[in-house]
Amino acid sequence: MSDERAFWLAWSQVAGIGPTLLLRMQRHFGTLETAWNARTAELAEVEGLGWHTANVAVEGRSRLDPESLLRQHEKENPNFWTPADADYPRLLLETPDPPSILYYRGQVKPLENQGIRVAIAIVGTRAPSDYGRRWTRRISGALAQAGFTVVSGLAEGVDTEAHHSCLGAGGRTIAVLGSGLDVIYPWSNRKLADQIAENGLLLSEYPAGTQPDRVHFPQRNRIIAGLSRAILVLEAPHKSGALITARVANDYGRDVYALPGSLDNSRCKGCLELLNDGAHMILGEKQLLTALGGLPDYAKMRSPQDQLLLFDDEPEPETAGLGEPINLEPRLKQVLQVITPVPTSFDLIVQQAGLDTGTVSSALSQLEIMGLVAQLPGMRYQKA
């Protein structure tokens, strides 16, 4: 059997194998089918796995048939992606813990999945003040009118305001759930979920029938951060799930923005802490859109597939007109060929170049000195 998505699904059902380990296994063995047939000693060689987890994994997989599991799962949950699927959101693949299974409901936009249409997340407290609600509506509406996709979590408060305002402005919004897509939480947002599905998208890493659980929401927050180029925290107290999203976003190399507020308002303490830690300050719609305008205009760029065709078909360096030296060392050329005008994470460059981390790091430094590559915040690189 060669359907790799069956093995992403099967491995996700094995106890002890979470998204981070699963991605490491895929990179270590090349395919998860190879990992499925690996011996315990071979599995134990995967970074972070170890003998105990490898033994548990071998025992767990022995009770599963990937092919049968996939057929049954497709009947119960027909709409889902795995990292083996071409439509799997590209930005999530750049994170260290992409969901093994991502369920969807609504209207899929390929340019959005490829990271070409820019998505911006809006998160915040479930009990915002009038100030927080007002600015959430203003900013979400402005983003929608500017052509950004607005991502949030369908929770009460800031999330709900962001989704409603985006739809009201004729924009597109994505809601990431901490439950199955057929279990809307809170229940009061079931009509909003249906409205989002008509023109936008509902996403979850949990299969149909999964009830909301406190442990699901921090996991949900990493998907919100991973899907988005920037995260806006509109109002959040000292202890807030929105701050978890912001911290994860920072780890992923995403830009974090926060709305300033009063020291007398406990709902604003989290935002003020983020600003103190270096987050960008939101000073109004116009200022924010100008700042976000500094993000690459992906809509005007070639798609990743077009870029690959360009590399495949381009003439020799002296006639390519790309300004590249004719006699690049093989390792430099190998690294340069996997870098596109779209910012790419260091880990993804290592994976695609097929070289060790040290070699890629050295090559990137030389290419940057030569003016061929530009480094961006969060260990991301793009062609200069």
Range 84-89 average pLDDT: 93
What is the pLDDT at residue 333?
A: 86
Residue scoring higher pLDDT (208 or 354): 208
Closest CA to 178 of 123, 137, 135: 123
Alpha-carbon span 356 to 359, nearest angstrom: 6
DSSP 8-state code for residue 282: P
pLDDT tens across 22-68, in order? 999 999 999 999 999 999 999 999 999 999 999 999 999 999 999 99
Q: Report whether 90 contacts 304 (CB < 8 A).
A: yes
Residue scoring higher pLDDT (182 or 340): 182
Task: Report phi then psi at 337, rounded to 5.
Answer: -70, -20
Range 17-24 average pLDDT: 93
DSSP 8-state code for residue 39: -
DSSP 8-state code for residue 132: H
What is the pLDDT at residue 320?
A: 34
Task: Report phi then psi at 23, rounded to 5.
Answer: -65, -40
- Helix-then-strand count for the chain, H and E: 20, 12
Closest CA to 226 of 341, 339, 99: 99
Task: Using pLDDT thresholds of 50, 70 and 90, give the confidence band for residue 3.
Answer: confident
| pLDDT-wise least confident of 29-38, 116-125, 157-166, 236-245 | 236-245
pLDDT tens across 248-296, in order? 999 999 999 999 999 988 999 999 999 999 999 999 999 999 998 866 5
pLDDT above 70: percentage of residues in the chain:
90
Question: Left, alpha or beta for 382 (phi > 0: left; psi -120 to 50: alpha)?
Answer: beta
What is the pLDDT at residue 89?
A: 95
Mean of all residue pLDDT scores within the chain: 87
Using the predicted structure, report yes or no on whether residue 117 has a pLDDT greater than 60: yes
What is the pLDDT at residue 363?
A: 83
What is the pLDDT at residue 318?
A: 33
β-pair partners for 114 = none
Angle, to 10 degrees, between the axis of helix 216-227 and the axis of helix 241-251? 50
Quick check: helix, strand or coil at residue 257? strand
Using the predicted structure, report yes or no on whether residue 306 has a pLDDT greater than 80: no
